[in-house]
Structure 1
């Protein structure tokens, strides 16, 4: 299938969000609280590409990245097509992180002819560093408190993604750098 075919196969962001069963409240919170900065790049990007979003509602990274992308897309008049990763592995496997991981979300920006013009995801580099720092504090997997510490770390990560406006800004900047290359 071509990227145009994949784009046509997807659903709207509204339908995706309506059907979410996990992280819906968190995604909507980020969407409602995040404000686009006054940024000339949003006005002068020239073309209005389309974007295919590979995602799943259980993904914490999608919870923060998707609403920020949606604000950018609205401002730039960009059409968005949402595809669930687990139902679209043929496309996902073309966008593996480090050539091996099905990490999401992945944003595939395409022009009107269906040519890929940029790809972003699954995390902004600055956010990746914060995530790695959080997980580096975990005990060994065979430690008796590992499971509890794992749950605490995921809770901290979700809270950071939901509330930290600096993290939101890092995501925004990373996406914009990809779009205006």
Structure 2
């Protein structure tokens, strides 16, 4: 049996360092309207005390490469959540980049074969890949997959929108991101 193709090794530290911090990324936004939405979403998000405490006590640095572009609705909803976590935990370092900046990186993180953003790649303090998230919470990705399977993606998107409206505090996203932060900060298996 033939062996599967092996992807080339990435220099995650170089990829991370090629990205922009949140302030620079926002300043480079294509749309002032989208930039305002991103900032409003970030400013409105309050983390619960348990999440804030976890982030404040993060024992080791965790690096996140965020593939995100301001025109995308899911980016507007989810990038501010990641940023709020980074603001709460000084050991969470995030850099934002576009799909075009590193197409070889983005190609590794397609969603069901499609280009969907945001994609957040979690790296340890040694820049070892530990997990990824995106473009939306798991339950919403499942809805979209079911919509594709039955030929009614429009109905699935309506259900996703309804979930977003019900979870204005982005609790599901926060929980999923915290799980990945915890994995990347692990000191033992």
Q: Same-fold call, TM > 0.5?
A: yes
SS at match of 1:85: coil
Q: CA RMSD in A?
A: 2.9
Task: Find the partner of 1:95 among 102, 109, 115.
Answer: 109
Deviation at 1:81, TM superposition (A): 0.9
Total equivalences in the alignment: 164
Task: Find the partner of 2:74 among 61, 67, 76.
Answer: 61
* In structure 2, C-alpha distance between the alignment counterparts of 1:133 and 1:29, rounded to whole Å: 32
* In structure 1, C-alpha distance between the alignment counterparts of 2:70 and 2:180, rounded to whole Å: 24
Where do 4+ consecutive residues of structure 1 move more than 3 Å? Answer: 126-139, 163-167
Deviation at 1:87, TM superposition (A): 3.0
Structure 1: which 5+ residue stretches go unaligned?
140-149
1:70 corresponding residue in structure 2: 83
Corresponding position: 1:7 with 2:16: yes
* In structure 2, C-alpha distance between the alignment counterparts of 1:69 and 1:130, rounded to whole Å: 22
Q: Is the 8 A contact 2:45 2:169 kept in 1?
A: no
| 1:1-181 mapped onto 2 (5 Å cutoff) | 1-22=10-31, 23-39=34-50, 40-77=53-90, 78-98=92-112, 100-128=113-141, 136=152, 138=154, 157=161, 165-166=167-168, 168-181=170-183
* In structure 1, C-alpha distance between the alignment counterparts of 2:61 and 2:116, rounded to whole Å: 26
